[in-house]
Structure 1
Amino acid sequence: MNIIEKFIKVLERYMDNLSIKKKFIQLYIFCVLLPLIITDSVVLYIEDSMESQRQYHEMANVANAVSYNISALVENAGEIAKSMYTNRRMNSFLEKQYESNSDYYAEYQNFFQDSTLENVLGMNQIVFTLYTDNPTVVKGGKIDTMSNLKETAAYEAWKERGENEGLFFVYERKRYANSYHRKIILLQNLDFFSKNKEKMLQIEFDYNSMMRMLRRMKFDNEVLICQGDAIVLSNGPFSGVGKKFDMISVQQKMGYKQTITLHGAKLDIYVLKADNRVRSKIVRFLPILGFLVIINVVLPMGFVLLLNHSFTKRIRGLSKVFQSVNGEHLVQMAHEDGRDEIGSMIRNYNRMVKRTNELIQTVYKNKIKEQEILVGRKNAELLALQSQINPHFLFNALESIRMRSLLKEENETADMVEKLAIMQRQYVDWGNDSVEIEQELEFVKAYLSLQKYRFGDRLNYNLEIDPECAQIRIPKLTIVTFVENACVHGIESKASPGWIFVRAYKREEQLYIEIEDTGSGIEEQKLYQMQHDMQNADIEMLKNKKSVGMLNACLRLKMYTEDHVCFEIEGEEGVGTWITICIPMEYLSFAEGCVNGPVCKRGKEIC
């Protein structure tokens, strides 16, 4: 049988154990609801994936558009800076030594009438300033001293970068004011013609104009332009030019990213995801989706429950009438309506019941009467037999023999008869299968006394019992069985005198019973077999073994202690045999009324 067949068998057994209601529910789940959920999930997943791809391309287009516009603006200013960098007239104007302020003003007017500078001055998004350390130049208008430039954060960043020109995003204090604001600065070192004088060009972009430019692009996505973790430009909510740059969060970094480098400034353009349009469509069409859920989920479920009721109502009725098989008369079903298979089965069942009741009336009841007569006759025969073998007759006879022996002064014979009566009474008194250890040892003592008449001086014995163990109950005829085995297999086969020792004591919540003999002993291989048989005694062993005395005692001990008993046997040929029985105290009980109890198994007090 292959794996598929095994799986089908397991599935069939599983379905056979389910009620019809659960079968219908599983039919609905696996054949209607689950395929519907999987199909809709796949459609939504595909739609969401396509929407994600479309958003990805849109974000890439947004990033490209932002990159193009920012780069165009900055590069336009950069071209102006390069033209000024290579402008010989500007270099002469900044390095010339003026004799008076009037000479400087005249040169200033002539210089700024240049067409290139007029175009720069006409751009409303940038402001440029020339810085020089020429002491004859008068500070004012578009001219300033290098000392003022060196106090700015942009100049410090330019010095740290170590390049000839660069773009910088800074947050610094306004000149002649005690407030800070954001700035976008392009610095160009004007040392192309001469390095005698320190000269620099600063182009400052209008921060607000650049923010408005991003907003005018009207993207659905939020765009963040970052230098490191600082958000230097954004089309989102404006936090104010007078506040420090906001820092980008880890979640915002999960959007589309594009990196550009403008005049040494590395800028990361993040385009954040817009609201998921698939989810917005779901929300918008929620009433229609609710209607579809009712059509595809609620109505099929109602129909399945209706089918289940049609099946289970009549099947429960059948199950109820089937319970009448325990009585003398089978019950018919009251309703036979329905033309389906169940209705047909009900009608056939009623016909079967009618016929069966007729057979019960004619055959079964007559058979019962015959059986009752036969059982009554057997009981009478058993009672008669029991009265014939009543053990009291045997005990009375033994007592008569003992009294007659005493009258004839045959004391030894009377003592033997008394011991035999004690033993016989113990054998036939099975009203309770357990007995106190002290009573069991009295029986052992009677048995050994009888055996001593047989063996004479060859048999000696010693019985030791811990007072704590005297009232503990064990299965009847347990110890004596092991003692009998010691006599038959130990002392009887040895010519020289031998001893039998019986001990019972408690140690660490364990009861120990030891039966030792100094007889002929047991060979090693047989010793191992006996150990195995004693520890694993069961009914099958009793059926197959010829000698079952010890196995019977071991089995009854295992049953009495719920299999929590250990047997250990040691011996040596020519030296003797030693059997130890170990039982946890929690699986033993005390005699009623003793000082240690009464307790039941597991050591719980009797209520």
Structure 2
Amino acid sequence: MKKITLSLKKITGSIKKIYIRLQLLLNNKNIKSKLIYVYIFCVLLPTLVTNITIIGNSLKLSQKEQRENISNIADSIAHDITRALDSAVYVTVDLYASDSIERFLDRQYATASEYYLQYRSFFDNYVFYASSKHLISDITFFSDNPTMINGGRYFRVDSIKGKDWYQKYKQADTDLYMHIYYDDTRYIDTRKRMLSIIRRLNYTGLRDTEKLVKLDLNYNQLLENVTSSAFGTTVYVCHGDKIIFTNAPEDKGDKSFFLSSAIIPEKEVQIHKVFTAYGVNWDIYVTDYKSNYRQVFSNNLGIIVILFLADALIPAFMLALFSNSITNRILLLVNYLKKVKGESFEFITGNKGSDEISELLENYNLMTYRMKELIENELKSKLEQQELILARKQAELQALHSQINPHFLYNVLESIRMRSVLKGEMETSGMIESLARLMRKSAVWGTDYIALKQELAFTKDYLELQRYRYGNGFQYKIKIEESLNLYKIPSLSLTTFVENSCVHGLNRAGHYGIIFVSAYQKADYFYLEIEDTGIGMEKEQVSSLEDKLNKADISDLQMSNSLGMLNASIRLKKFCGERTRIAIESEPQEGTCITIKIPLADMEQQ
């Protein structure tokens, strides 16, 4: 017993030594080499043995089972159709051999009343037992007896000579004929697919009277029989180039035309069976059959268990080696990365080996060093830059505003206005008051973004000053949609464009002219228009000015001698968005129209 124990310990010790040596060896191998070993020992060898044995046997059994089951399905469908046709033919045999039917069809009726009495008597006694059978939907008799009246189940032959099915029956020149067609001679809601058996009634053969019976089969019942025999497959029963019965989802039922056999996926057909019934050739196609492997694996369970054990033990030994070589160091790296997530940057020490994972650990240490350096230098620098950018933006806005902020003039004008009041110069006082309101607005920094209604008040004050200055030769008109009064724009922006039209557009002898100011909404845009009847501009000047206003920024103000419209354009874009656009139309000696277009979505309301 002791010898056995010692032998086991030696074997165990030897295995441990081999395991440790293999582990150290794998630590110095690259991942590609390790994956090759995994593939050879854990995948290739077990898979070859297992798959060749199991799959080979399974395929043979499943293919045999599939062929038998599909063949049985096709045979069952053929049997159902043949049996249904047999039942219908047997009914025609009874009708063919019936003396009462023959006498009724051959009898010459003197009056319509006589025919009707015979018809009711015959109908009540015979009851047409055959039509009550679920496979037959209707039975109709036809005779060339001229004394019969068309109606019910009896018609004269001359009433059907134009029918397609009758002409095909005559061409076949046979006592028993089967016709498959779509009956579109009915009303729209009663049109349907038809399978009819036509039989000549000449049992005695003593008369030349043409007599025949037409049995219409119950199409939906036949389709139900075919569908119930499909057993989870897709079945197509065809006659010629038409699909007569199918359980495919493309089929819309008996109220629609027959589908073409061209839709059958030839590559997916698993069996094609041909049979003939009563002179009609039928083709059966079966697709979508799925084999059942449960029985196959149940029959081969013993072999499967043995092969499974072989597949499990070999990979277990090899993967144990790979686990210690790869996963332990990967887990070490994961733990240190979790520390990084908690903003604790520590270096990994004691790294052993020369494979890709060891290189990954070294790169982690380099990354940690760079991240520390980035946090201490780069991020702080960027924060400072952001603060500078914000400060610069604020300074730009203040600079824009300061260019139209002549505060001291307001106090001077107020003093002059008071002197005019004391002297009784009320018109002069009123003009100075209008100008003072303009100066007061420019002196207030906190309300640079005001409602259109307020801006129009400043514009009107300015225009009144101009009319006072130039006399009756100067006129102006303002037209504003009431719904736009509360939309906000930069203060004095509209007034600046109006001032430009007065100074540059009407700057001619006599200063005669008209200024038109309008604001309106069109589609999803807000429009401001300032139009004058002044001296106008050339096309080159218009194009240059328009381009300059739409592309203006702070740096342009520093290099420009004229600040008015440029300043207003920049402030409009900063307050109302970069999508703000200014369009100019002008004709020399005719006038100029400036249109400011702002998306309503970018504007605010007071």
For this structure pair, what is the TM-score category when the shorter chain's length is used for normalisation?
0.3 to 0.5
* TM-score with structure 2 setting the length: 0.41
Instruction: With a CA cutoff of 8 Å and minimum separation of 6, indicate the structure with the bigger relative contact order.
Output: 2
Larger radius of gyration: 1
